[in-house]
Chains A and B, each alone.
Chain A
Amino acid sequence: MKICVCIKEVPDSDVPINKLQIDSENLKVLPIENISSIINGFDLNAVELALRFSESIQNSSVSIISVGNDLSSDVIKKPIAMGADEIITCDDKKNINIDVHGTALILSKLIKKTGPYDIIFSGRHASDFDMATVPFALSEMLSIPILNIVKNIKKEKEKILLERIITDGYQLIESNLPLIITAGNQVGDPRYPTLKGIMEASKKKIINFTLDQLDLSIKDIETKVNLEKVYFPENQNNVEMIEGTDSKEKAIKLISKLKESRII
C-alpha cells in the first residue's frame, strides 16, 4: 500500500499575540523574535494516523509531500524522524503568496508524478490561514473522493473501515480506495521522533521538484481569491484592570462589576 501525507510549514500558533508582527509585503503574520516555524499541528496528527495505518499493513510506505518557498529542512523532515520513508517537495522561489488553488494544483502534480497513492492524508486545516479547503480542491483535481476529520482507519480483509468525527459523535464508514483523508487532534498526540529516526532524517535527502519540472508556470498558480491586506484588528475592548490591596478585595470588586453590567 502506497500512502502519502501532505504537510505545511506554518508559523508557531502557540506564540502569544504580542510577539507577532505583520509582514505587509508578503501578507503574512510572523513571530517577532527568531522563533522557529513548525509543521501545522493537524498535519502531524495526519502523519501519526498514516504511520499507524501503515504499520498495520505489510509492504506499505509513507511519503511526505510539501509545497513552499524556502522551506526549513529541519522542520519538514520531522515526519521522517517519526518513521515516514521519504520526503518530496516543490520548494520553489516562485511559490510566493500562492493560495488554495496554487497549493492544491502543485500538490496534485507532485502526487501524479510520484504516485499513484492508495491513500492521501492531510491535516483538516492549516493554522495560518484556516481555509480548510486544499484537501477538497485536491480531491476534485485528482478525482479521488474525500472524507474529512477521520480519527481511525483500518483494513479488514479487503475492506477499509473508518471512523469520521461529526458534531457530538462519529460515523462508521466503509470506503473504496483511492481515498483522501483529513485528520484532526482526535487522532491523539503525534509520536515523538526516536533517536534513530532523527539520525535517519538528518541523512535523508529531500526529493525536490521545481515548478518547471512539474510543467507548471506562474500563470497556472495565480490566485483565484485575492488577499489584499493583513492586519491586527483594533482592540475594541478597553480592558478595565481591577485593582485592590489583595486577591479578596479584587474578587469582591469583580463580582460587583459583573453584577452592575448584568453579566451575572
Chain B
Amino acid sequence: MKALTILFNDQDEFSDSCLEIFSFINSLDNNTDITCLNFGGDKKYLSKLPVDNNFYVDLSNANTNQIDILKTIEVFLDDEVYDFIIFQKDDFSNYIAPVISYRKHYPYIPDIKQIFSNNLKDIKFVRPIHGESAEGIYSVEKNNTIVLKIRKNSFEKQPLLLEEKNITELLLKVVNNKPFKIIETFQTQSEGLKLDDAKIVVSGGRGIGGKEGFENLRSLANILNGAVGASRAAVEAEWIEPSNLVGLTGKWISPNLYITFGISGASQHLAGCSNSKNIVSVNTDPDASIFNYSKFGIVEDCNKFIIDLIEELKKTS
C-alpha cells in the first residue's frame, strides 16, 4: 500500500502532533510505503520523520497563496498514484484537502478519530457528527485514492527516527494570473494565557448569571495558572469577550483539566471541549448532560462553589 501525507508545518518550531499521522497509517496497514510532502518547517526535524520518501517545499513567505500550493500538489500527484492521501487539521489542510479531493474526483472524509479495518478493502472510519454529541461510521468503495483528514489528539504519536534521512527539496510551482492575491498577513496577539495552549481551562455558562461571575472565574484561572472559557449563552449575554468562546463556533481545545460552571452540555459546546483529558462539572441541575462527559460532578450553585474553591485552593497552595 502507498500513502502520501501532506504536512503544513510551522516555520518556527516543530510540532510533534504530525507524528500522529504515522501511527494512523500503520493502523491502516503496517506494511505501507509512506511518502511525506512537507510545506515549510524545520528541515532538520522533518528529515527524522518515520517515512520512506521525504520531500520539502520552502514556504518562508507568509503570504503564500493556496493556488500555488494546489498547483505544486497536483504536479506532484502526476508522478504516482497513492491509496491514501492524508492531512491533519490546520488552516492550509482545511482548504487544500477538500479541493484536491474534488479536483481529482477522490472521496474525502474529514475529522477521523478512529478506524476499524479487517483489510484494505474494508475500512470503517469513525468521525464525530452533530457537534460531538454523536458519531458516524463511514465507508468508501476502495477502487480509488481516498483523501482523509485526521483529528488531532486521536492517535498515538510515533517517535521520530534517531538519525536524519535524506529529504528532497522541491520548488513551489508559482501560478501566474491568480484569481486572488494575499496582500498582507496580520498576526494578532491575545492577552493572557491562550485558550489553545492552557493546560487548565475554567469555563462559565448561563448558570454564571453575569459579569461578576466571570471576574471570580478569572481569579480561579489565575490561581490554577489556567485560561478562562465560556459557552455561547455567556458570550451572547456579553458577560465575556467572544474570543473566549469554547464550542462549535469558537475554540476547539483539549486541556488536561476543563472545569465547567453552569454549563448544561449542548452539543454546540461539547464540540469544543470534549477532547479535554479530564472534565469537572458544577451545575445546579443533577440531570445536566454535561455530567455524562465528566470525571467529577458537583451539584451546587456554581457562583458559591467558585468562591469556596478559590478559598480552599489558596489554603492548600
Contact = CB atoms under 8 A, between A and B. Distances in A.
Interface in B107-146: 107-111, 124, 127-131, 133-141
Contact of B102 (A137, A166, A261): A137
B162 interface: no
A198 interface: no
Interface centre among B94, B98, B103, B268 (most CB of A within 10 A): B98
A227 B292 contact: no
B38 interface: no
B266 A227 contact: no
Interface residues of A, number: 76
Contact of A22 (B127, B134, B224, B309): B134
B297 interface: yes
A13 B250 CA distance: 14
Interface in B60-116: 63, 67, 90-91, 94-95, 98-99, 101-103, 107-111
Interface in B180-206: 180-190, 200
A99 to B, nearest CB: 10
A263 B277 CA distance: 9
Contacts of B91: 166-167
Nearest to B111: A130
Given A140-B99, A167-B90, A179-B180, A225 B109 contact: yes
Interface string A151-185: 00000000000100011111111111001000011
A171 B312 contact: no
Contact of B292 (A133, A147, A237): A237
A13 B184 contact: no
Contacts of A171: 63, 182-186
Nearest to A229: B137
Nearest to B144: A224
Contacts of B129: 29, 128-130, 230
- Interface majority SS (helix, strand, loop, mixed), chain A: mixed
B266 A15 contact: yes
B296 A254 contact: yes
A84 to B, nearest CB: 22
B280 A258 contact: yes
Interface stretch (B43-51, B153-161, B300-308): B300-308
19 contacts: A14-B232, A130-B130, A130-B131, A132-B98, A139-B99, A140-B102, A140-B103, A147-B180, A172-B183, A184-B249, A224-B140, A225-B108, A228-B138, A232-B135, A237-B293, A240-B297, A248-B312, A251-B311, A261-B278
Given A176-B179, A176-B180, A230-B135, 11 more contacts: A14-B266, A18-B287, A127-B130, A146-B95, A147-B180, A162-B180, A167-B91, A171-B63, A248-B308, A248-B311, A255-B313
Interface of B: 63, 67, 90-91, 94-95, 98-99, 101-103, 107-111, 124, 127-131, 133-141, 179-190, 200, 224, 232, 236, 242, 245, 248-250, 256-257, 264-268, 270-271, 278-281, 287-289, 291-301, 304-305, 308-309, 311-313, 316
